[in-house]
Each structure stands twice: as structure tokens, then as C-alpha cells.
Structure 1
Amino acid sequence: MELNLRIKFKKAGIFTGIAVLLLILIVFLPRDVRSENNQMIKMIKMIIPEPGTEVIAKKPIIKCRVAQAVDRDTLVVILDNMDVTAIVIFTEKGFHVKPVAILPSGAHTLMISGVSTAGERFEVSFDFSSRHSTLFDEAYSNNEVTALYDRVMAKSDNLEGEPDGKVEANLTTDNILQTSKWRFLLNSNIRYFDQSTSAFPPPSKGVEIINYLLTAKYRGNELDFTAATGDLQLNESENTVAYLSRRGGQLLLKHKNFNLNSFVVKSDQIFGFDGDLGLEGDLDDHIIGVSGAVNLFSDKLQLKTVYATGSEPGDDFGSWSTSGDKKGNVIGFIMGSHLLDDRVILDAELDFSRYDADTLDEFGSESDKAYRIGGEANIGNYSLRAIYKYTGPEYQVVGNPSIQKDLQGISIQGGTTRENHAVTFSFSQYHDNVKSNPLYSRIKTMAFGGDYNFTGFQAFPMGISFERTSLTSSREPEFTDPIRTYTDTLTGHIAYIRDRLSLGFQAGYGFQEDRISDFNDTTNINLSLSPSYSWDRLSIYPSFSFNRSRAHFTHVNTDTYTTNLSFNGNLIPEKMACEFSGTYNKTTADDNSTDMDTINASTRITYFFTNKFWIMTNPAVALMAQYNQSRDRLFDQEEEEFRILLSFTNNISFSF
């Protein structure tokens, strides 16, 4: 009985010891940690706004109270991962800070760290949230005005027709209204322009809205839509609507994994705002399109269809033509897939067009097709991209002049990167006359090459590259000369980089052989040296290059020597800066058929006023000089011009 009691008391003592140890770990240690944190919070306390509360303000003032003296040189204040220490204002009881830019609505974190005058390090953070108004989560307008005034102080006689004075001011404005589900945006650029002589549009004198875009977005539980009007950027696919910049309207709908996009835009270019929204009119001066897409298998596969129709004028902004309008339509089917966590990407496109290049001639519309299929793989240190294209000779799309018709072929690019080595290669082969028209030759263009770069020596990066291109013909009609041209190019580069000094050297050799005629054989050699050096207040960038082109049939060498020099520096730190750039170019031929040189030089001395002067931000005045000269020694001709200008620039930024 006594033995059992001892065992029980012994076990009880063990359990009691464990309990006491756990009590120390659970209670006393966290209390010490919390106590240290509480001391920090007591030492620095955010009083406005109170931690965990929401404040209604676009640029809320944040006030902190400091219980102990803080070494101001060690204080670091970070708001939403942005260091705002430079705008902290100290007071007797602490400090406060007001954001320079409008603070986005939502949650924010203020982190404060430093050392007290007693030598104690501290770091503490506070959380709060903000919104811009009671009605809107965000409601603000960011604006920036840039102004330029140029006055010609002196100029050469051959520049008498140029204006003596010019003033230009540009206003960039970004405006947002946002609630939990709605978001409205207005972006615009407005310009004022005037000069002492007549202006040929563009630009035109006076105030003008250069561009604008008004957008409304709605995000619901299952339905999202976007409506926009103004200057749009449309990009549906490579062979349909691609990089189309026009004025008009657009509507996008998204429901779960379905997307629908429709647009109507003015077919000709519009510069400035003349009251035309790009929405009025018919197909004679508009381009209308619609596309639909569905995403399947967790967005790993997308199927898309595009249709566009309309016409565009024969003469457009910046060009003039006597031909009639261009009119047509296109339908395209696009597939894209992302596999293996986007390491493998496949895409394909099939398109059909009907196009009339000139509505005034006797020929009607032509129908044709285009297709492409490609893939890309990025696995480990290796990458590979291949694409096969076919574009019919009559395939064209309104509003997409970048399409190269009558083309068929394949291109492949790949490479690998190691610790100090990088190797890339490329191959492409394309030909025209895809429908074997007997009236024309078939021209084949082939190119292959690669490059290697080595960075094992940190101070001496180097590399070498090689490329061969060929242009050959086949199926030549009678009385048509064949084409057999081959060009080999070899280049190498090496640089020396140490501290503030950089020295680059590049050499290249090229040989073009025409196997049909000796008249076109040429050799090109180029050498260039590009040193640079930077001091604390001055950076200098000279460069020298030599290029020789040799015509084998005539044995004539044409040499070009080019020398560049540019530098920039601070004459007075943060007050006065200077810049200079100049180029001397000389071209000679050893048969005395060419002997000419040119000089182009410009310099600028700028004085910066105080960072903020009245409502102006960073105003500056500059004295600029420009000089150009060209001489043809064979014909004893010389032209030169110079210009000295006084320029005033300024930025004004404001938001509300």
C-alpha cells in the first residue's frame, strides 16, 4: 500500500513538472513577446487614423505619437511597401505624413522602424483602410501638364522659313470612379499649340483633344462587361484584326468561360476631336467586327471565332491616292492551348477573306484563305518555337496592312541557357507564288544561323554569331533571269567592364555572292569601338566605327568613318546640367567617285529652378545650340545651318 502511494506521488510529481513547464512556455514566453510588442506600440502609436479603422480621404494624413525620443536619422516609414520617410514631418509629440499621390482604396499597412535615443531598436506596423468618398470606393483625377516654350535667338539664313517662336502645352488626365461592382475611367490628352508661322496639320494651332477613351466596367457574380468609346486598340488575331488603332466603340461581355467582343470604329485615321465619335455612319467608312471565345479545361484550351467587315478610304491620314475605297470582310477560327503549366503552348488559325482593293476599277472582290499553326515549348533551360504559315496571293484584310500575302513556309527558333553560356539558333524558309502562277517565278528566301554568348569572365562578356541567307528562284517564265544570291555574315563582340569604365569592341564580316552575275558580289567589313566612363558629375560616351564595302567586279572600296561623342554632366549639382552630342561622318571611294563628309552637333545647358516654384514643378530654362554641315568635295558643294534657342520647360502635376 505504501509502495503504491509512492508510485502515485512520483507520477503526480512528473505530471506536475510537465504542467508547470507547459505553463511557462504557453503563458510566460508569449507574454514576454507581447509585452515587448506592446512596449513598441506604446513607444510609437498611430492616432490618426486609429488602427483597424476606415478613413474617407484620397490622401489621408497619418499621425503618430512618440513616447520616447527617436533618432530621426534612423527612422524609416514605409506605407504599402513604399518608402515615404522623405516626406515625414516631425512635431513636438511625434510626426505625421501625407501621401503625395492619391492612395488607392482598400487595406493599407504602415511600418515604422528605427532606433531610440537610448539605443533601443524598434519596429512596429499598423493596419487601416481607406476609401475616397462615402459613395465611391475610388473617385479621383490625376493630371499632369507639360509646357514648352522655344524662342530662336539666332539662326542661319537658310532657316528663315522656320518659326522663331513656339509654345506647346500638353495635359494628360486620368480619372476614375469606382464602386464595389462598377468602374468608370476617362483618359485623355489635350494639347495647346501655337507658333510664329503657319502650321501644317497636324498639328493645328489652338486647343485640341488629341485622344480620349471613356470606359465603363461592371463586375458581377457571373457576368462581367466592359463598354468603351474613344480611341481604341483592337487586336483579335494575327490574320484578322491586328493592332488596329481607330476611334469608335467597343462592348465586351464575359459569362463564366464565354467571352463576346463587338466593336465599330471609323476606318480612316482621326487626329484630334472634331465631334466624330466614330460610331456614326455605315460600312462605307467604318469597320465592324465581332468575336466570340470559349475557355475549356480550366482555361487550358481556348476556341475563338472572329468576323469583321467594312471599308477604308484609298487616301488616308498622311497619304493620298486616286484609287477608290478598299472593301472586304474576313472570318477567322483560332485555337490556343496552354499545357504543362504553360511550358507548352500551341496555337493555330484558319481564315477566309473577301477583298476588293479598289472599288473604282473594273475588277471585283477576290476570295482567298490563310492559315498558320505553331507551338512553343519552354522546358528547363531549353526553349523551342516553330510556326508554319500559308497566306494566299489574294488574302487581304481591311485595316490590317501588316499581312504579307502570297507567302508559305516555316520558321524555327530555339536555344538553351546555362550558367555562363547561352546558345540560340534560327531557321526559316519561305517562298511566294504559292499557287504556282506560270507568269511569275517562285522566289524562295532561306535563312539560318545562331549565336553564342559567354559570361564566364565577369569583366569580359563576349559572343559570336553567324547567319546565312539565300534568295533563289525556280519555275522561271521564258525570258526571265534566275536568281541565285547567297549572303554570309559573321560578327563577334567582346567588352571590358570594370567599375565606371566600359569598353566594347565589335567586328563583322559579310560576303554576298551572286552566282548568276559577278556584278553583284560584295564584301562588307565593319569595326566599332565604344568606350564610356562615368564620374560623379560627368559621363562621357565616345564611339568610333569603320565600314568598308568592296564591289568585286569593279574592285572599288567605299569606306565610311564615323565618330560620335556625347557627354552629360552637372555643372552645379541639382541646379545646372550640360549635354553635348556630335557626329562626324566621312565617306570616300578609292576610284574618286565619292568624297563627302557631314557634321551634326548639338549642345544644351539647363538651369533648374527650385523643385517647386508657385504651382510649377521642376521648371527649367535651357540654352540650346544646333549645327549641321555637309560637304561634297567632288562637286565643291557645301551646306551648313545653325540655330540657337532659348527654351523653357515645366511640369505641373495636380490631383483631386
Structure 2
Amino acid sequence: MFCLFQVPLSRGHSLEVSWLEVISPQENTSIIEKKPKIKVRFLKPVKIDTLLVILDGTDITQLLEVKENEFEYKPFMVLPPGNHVIIVTVYDLEGNQLQKEIQFTTKHSKFFEEMVSENELGVTYENLLKNTDSSEDIPDSKIEANLSSQNRIKKGNWSFNLNTNLRYYDQNTPLSPPLEKGIEVINWLLTGAYSKGKFNFKGDVGDVQITETPYTVPSLSRRGGVFDFRYGNYQLRLFSVRSPQVFGLEGGTGISTSTDDHILGVSGGVKLFQNKVNLKMIYVTGEEPATSFGISSLPGKKKGNVWGFLVTTNFFSSKLKAELEVDFSKYDPDTSDEFEEKSDRAYRFTIGGFLDNYNYEFTYEYLGRDYAVVGQMLEKDKEGFTFTGGANWGVHNLNIMFLRYNDNVRDDELLPRIINSQGSINYSFTKFSEVPINLSVQKSIQESTDEPSGTPPLDLHTDTVSGQISFIKDNLNIGFQTSYSYMNDKTDTNQDQTNIIYSLTTSYYLPTFSISPSFSLNQLKDHLTDVRTDTYTITIDMKKTFLNDKVSFDLSGTYNIVKADDGSVDNRSLNVNLNLAYKLPTYFQGYLTPVIYLRGNYSKTMDDVYSTSDETYQIYLVFSTTLPFSF
């Protein structure tokens, strides 16, 4: 609806004010107004149909209230505080271009430079017109409304943000937890920040996200608080969150100094040698309850702590980058049993960089069998390394990779050691931009050693070759991919397999029409039984718009055929989704965008081996709209 413009200013015309009078706001003034009314009067006859008005780089011409010799604009959304520029361009009756630049400054209130609430309301109502599915889980009608709100206050060096999402949901059938009918707060986050000179502070309270190091807290989303202090090259972070998942207003702020059902942490860092060396230390401690939505739990509580140390370096303009992490944990997976907590360690070393057209990276990592961090689901009991390298010679691009990992890092005699090795070479050729080519070769080995008595050995070798070629011309894109894979089982079970895949994808785009059909064939042969299973998949995505985009038609579908040459498998499935939408008239300067549409779902499955079939379809009448608003 809006477009960005950069209009060259005619300095001579901008000095001429005899043809235009700015009624509001006054030029080069500072006003206290969130939605300032803009009103301009022409002092000489002009061609109104040539009028172009740009506000802060956005064309607002279509939103103006235009009269014979003046125009007026009242913003629907709050303008940000600060400087604003209006550029008015029009032609007089003699065909001369007239242009004027108008500047003014706004504040949101007398006390605050910025005080604004930006919101977006989305509403969807769905009514089931026809249903052949006997399931009682499909509601006849449902309504969902979501309100996203971002609120900001700023004065001097201080700023405060309150972001929240509310939802109203209702339907004529029961909901599965944690969904509830009615109005509920989905999440909320209050942020306060202060900045002056080298000192910066930021505090988050609510539904926070915490990221520290890969082996301590790679990602933690909980209710609580995070407080970050920075002075120059020094950083200190404190956090306290509830370990069980809570939603909405339940659970309060989530901040506590006790580790009961909470996770506490502190980290500190410093940057040295012009930010080429970063040092970081972290300590995390806490406890998880026996039950917590979204978290795997054991009969008793889980409790532990971890110390972590991280050093990162970047020398010679990213030619030599390195990272070293060392962590020590104490963890009790079940405080209700008689076993004590167990200590273990993890460490990781990475070195890499860029040398002209080349890049490289080597990583060695070790995670102990009993290494664990409260609130995290880290992979453990593994040791190994990964090497990647690449080269770019213009139209030629080459990437290589090799890795080797094993479990059972403590050589437990009761368990085998599983070793996974993999190497690959990928090459791409792009001399002809319309016909890019990609080739790859991969070798993977999964084997076991030191198997205890009664444990069958593992020795699988898989070789894969694949290629892709595309044709790209204007709005047409055609791609063909194929791969051949052979898995050689060198154990006595001899379960060798061959997998061949062919796929063809196409797409064609026009402003009012697009279509993307595809076809793939997956052939999997089990050499032990001498049975080959073929899977055919056909998909299509199509969209067409009519009447200046007021009406749109969407079609997507998938058809699958699965057949085994011994007759043990023979089934087909068809899934089709249809949408026919009509955009209703917009309101509030085009911000309210209601849409009404028919949606249909069709599904059919057929099994010729067991002579069964099932067919269902649903037709819905849907109304949806969104409205952003601010104050």
C-alpha cells in the first residue's frame, strides 16, 4: 500500500513559498503530538491530479483528503519522535513543477521524548459448513483473536518496553492443554535499559530467553529475570528463572534467590586486545521439579550446577579464529533415590578462519557420560571431531567435510562403543547462471567395537552420490535431482539396501499467477529379501488472483503411491487443500484488511492389499482480519 521514494529536491523551487502555505504543523518547529495533522493550502492554481506528497520517505498521496486548493492528512499510526520531512510536489497550470520541503520535529509528551503503544489485532472466525469425518475432535465453529502489544517509554538515558501477546479462543469442543478457552496472556516481557557513556544496563523480567555457551546454557526460555551490566569491555549478567514452564500471569515474575524450582546463574566477561580476545566465565545452579510441562521428567527432582569457561580469539582479520570451552558439572537426575550427584566435564576446541578464497574449521569436542546441566537437554557421552573446508574460484565452489564421533567415552565394559564416521565432497559449477550444477559424494560408516557378550556387532558402510541441475530463465525454474545410495551391511545379518531417488521440480511465476508442480520417485531395495519398494509423490501448488487482487484462488495437493514388487505393499493417498478468498473493502487508511474465504480439505487413502479405503472432506467458511493501531 505504501512505497518508498527518494525525490530529488529542486532547491530553487523549495525557496519559493508564494505558491504554498503550510497551515500545520508550522515549519521548523517542535511540537508535542503523536499524530500531527498535516494541512497545506495552495496559493495559486495547480493540477491536483499531479500532486505527490512524501512523508519521511513514504508516499501518502492516496491517504490525503484533497480539496480544490488544499489537502489534509491525519496519521492513523503514531509517528516516531524526532525530525520529520514532508516533500510536496505538484505542477501548475502552465506545466511547471513546484516542489517544497517542510521540516518539523515531534515529541510524544511534555515529559517523555517517546511514549507510544503499538498494537496489532488479528481475528479469525471459522465455521464448518460440511464434514464427512466422524471424529468429534473437529469443532463446528471456532474463533481466535490475538493482540500483540509493544509499549515504549523513553526519557534521556532511560527507556522501558512492555511487550505482550493476548489471545481469545473459543470453540464448541474441548481444547487440549495447555490451550484454554477465553482470554489469556500468552507471554509478556518488561525491559528497562539505561545507557550513559561506557556504562550500559539492560534488565528483562517476564518470559525471557537466555543464551550463554554451547555446553552450559545454549538456549533457555523460562519465566524470570535477566540483568545485564556492561562497562566498556566488561560484562556481568545475572539471571533467575523458574524451572517449570509457566504461561500467562501464572507464576508471577519468576525471580527468586532460592534454587527450589528455580535456575540461577551468573556470568562475566571481558574483551582484550581491541576485542580480539574474549574471556567469559559462567556459573549455573538450580533444581527442576518432578513434573514440568514441556520438559522430560523423572520421579524425583533434578538438581545440579555447572562451572563454565569460554575463550574466543579472532586474529588477522578473521584468518585465524579460535574458541575453547571447558565446563564442569555436578548433577543428580533423581534426588529421591539413594544415589549421590555425579561430577563430569565437557570441553570443546574450535579453530578456523578465512584465507582469501578458502575457509576452514576444525572442532574437537568431548562430553562426559554424566555431564548434564539443569534445564537443558544436552547430548552427552560423545567424543569426536569435525573438519570442514571450502574453496571458491569464481564459477567453481568446492566444500569438503569429515567427522568422526563415538559414544561410551568411559569404556564401560557393559556397553559397546558406537563409532560414526562421515566424509563428503560437494562441488558446484555456476559459469552459466541459467544452468547451475551441483555434485556431491558422501561416505558414512557406523560401526561398533568392544561389544559385550550377547550384543550383535554393527558395521554399516553407506556410499551416496547425488547431483542436481537447474534451468532458470525469467519466471521459469526447472530443477532435476537424483541420488544413488548403497548401504553395505558387513555383519552376518547382511541387510544391504539400495536407495535411488529421482525428483523433478518446476515453478513458474507471474504477477497474478504462479504454479509449482513436482514429481519424485524413491526406489528402496532390500537385498536380503530381494524386495523393491517404489514411492511416487506428485505435488502441486498453484495461486491465481483476479479483479486487481481482490479475489484469489489457492490450490495445493499431494498424491502418493507406495508399491512393493512382491505385492506386500500397495497403497495410495490423496490430500487436497483449496482456498477461495475475497478481500472486503479496507478501512482506516487501508490498515483494516478483512478477508472472507471458503476453505476445503479433501483426503483419501486406499490400500489394495487389505482392500480398504477412507475418504473425508471438510468445507469451512472463514472470516479473518487484522488491524494495527497505536496511541
Q: TM-score over 0.5 for the alignment?
A: yes
Aligned to 2:445: 470
Aligned to 1:441: 416
Deviation at 1:440, TM superposition (A): 2.3
Measured against aligned partners, the alpha-carbon deviations of 1:46-88 in whole angstroms (never above 9, x if no partner) come to 6644443322222333445556666666655444444444434
Aligned to 1:174: 150
Q: Which of the residues 104, 111, 116 maps onto 1:128?
A: 104
Deviation at 1:428, TM superposition (A): 1.4
What is the DSSP-based 3-state SS (H/G/I as helix, E as strand, rest coil) of the residue aligned with 1:363?
coil
Query: Is 2:185 the partner of 1:201?
Result: no
Aligned to 2:343: 367
| Paired amino acid for 2:403 | S
Query: Is 2:366 the partner of 1:416?
Result: no
Aligned to 2:324: 348
Asked whether the 8 Å contact 1:159–1:641 carries over to 2, the reply is no
The more displaced of 46-55 and 242-251 is: 46-55
Q: Distance in 2 between matches of 1:346 and 1:44?
A: 63
Q: Which of the residues 96, 113, 121 maps onto 1:145?
A: 121
Regions of 4+ moved over 6 Å: 613-616
Query: Is 2:512 the partner of 1:537?
Result: yes
| Paired amino acid for 2:447 | T
Asked whether the 8 Å contact 2:76–2:588 carries over to 1, the reply is no
The verdict on how the C-alpha distance between 1:514 and 1:294 changes in structure 2, with shifts beyond 3 A counting, is: same
Aligned to 1:453: 428
Asked whether the 8 Å contact 2:13–2:98 carries over to 1, the reply is no
Aligned to 1:630: 605
Query: Is 2:463 the partner of 1:498?
Result: no
Aligned to 1:28: none
Q: Which of the residues 123, 126, 131 maps onto 1:155?
A: 131
| Structure of larger gyration radius | 1
Aligned to 1:563: 538
Aligned to 2:234: 258
The verdict on how the C-alpha distance between 1:300 and 1:587 changes in structure 2, with shifts beyond 3 A counting, is: same
Q: Distance in 2 between matches of 1:53 and 1:565?
A: 58
Aligned to 1:25: none
Aligned to 1:298: 274
TM-score, structure 1 length as denominator?
0.89
Asked whether the 8 Å contact 2:391–2:397 carries over to 1, the reply is yes
Asked whether the 8 Å contact 2:298–2:333 carries over to 1, the reply is no
The verdict on how the C-alpha distance between 1:509 and 1:125 changes in structure 2, with shifts beyond 3 A counting, is: farther
Aligned to 1:641: 616
Q: Distance in 2 between matches of 1:79 and 1:385?
A: 49
Asked whether the 8 Å contact 2:564–2:570 carries over to 1, the reply is yes
What is the DSSP-based 3-state SS (H/G/I as helix, E as strand, rest coil) of the residue aligned with 2:134?
helix
Query: Is 2:80 the partner of 1:104?
Result: yes
Deviation at 1:126, TM superposition (A): 4.7
Q: Distance in 1 between matches of 2:552 and 2:315?
A: 54
Q: Distance in 1 between matches of 2:40 and 2:281?
A: 58
The more displaced of 82-91 and 175-184 is: 82-91
Aligned to 1:18: none
> In proportion to residue count, which structure has more helix?
1
The more displaced of 479-488 and 66-75 is: 66-75
Deviation at 1:392, TM superposition (A): 1.0
The verdict on how the C-alpha distance between 1:577 and 1:35 changes in structure 2, with shifts beyond 3 A counting, is: closer
Q: Distance in 1 between matches of 2:63 and 2:628?
A: 17
Q: Distance in 2 between matches of 1:404 and 1:114?
A: 66
Asked whether the 8 Å contact 1:616–1:650 carries over to 2, the reply is no
| Paired amino acid for 2:363 | I
The verdict on how the C-alpha distance between 1:491 and 1:116 changes in structure 2, with shifts beyond 3 A counting, is: farther
Aligned to 2:4: none
Q: Distance in 1 between matches of 2:480 and 2:198?
A: 59
Deviation at 1:615, TM superposition (A): 11
What is the DSSP-based 3-state SS (H/G/I as helix, E as strand, rest coil) of the residue aligned with 2:12?
helix
Measured against aligned partners, the alpha-carbon deviations of 1:285-339 in whole angstroms (never above 9, x if no partner) come to 1101111111222322221111110011333214675521111000101112333
Deviation at 1:381, TM superposition (A): 3.1
Deviation at 1:620, TM superposition (A): 1.4
Query: Is 2:379 the partner of 1:404?
Result: yes
Query: Is 2:555 the partner of 1:580?
Result: yes
Aligned to 1:8: none
Deviation at 1:459, TM superposition (A): 2.1
The more displaced of 612-621 and 333-342 is: 612-621
Q: Distance in 2 between matches of 1:192 and 1:161?
A: 19
Deviation at 1:549, TM superposition (A): 0.3
Q: Distance in 2 between matches of 1:160 and 1:583?
A: 25
Deviation at 1:486, TM superposition (A): 1.3
The more displaced of 528-537 and 618-627 is: 528-537
Deviation at 1:114, TM superposition (A): 6.5
User: RMSD value over aligned CA atoms?
Assistant: 2.6
Aligned to 2:259: 283
Deviation at 1:41, TM superposition (A): 6.1
What is the DSSP-based 3-state SS (H/G/I as helix, E as strand, rest coil) of the residue aligned with 1:404?
coil
What is the DSSP-based 3-state SS (H/G/I as helix, E as strand, rest coil) of the residue aligned with 1:36?
helix
The verdict on how the C-alpha distance between 1:101 and 1:342 changes in structure 2, with shifts beyond 3 A counting, is: farther
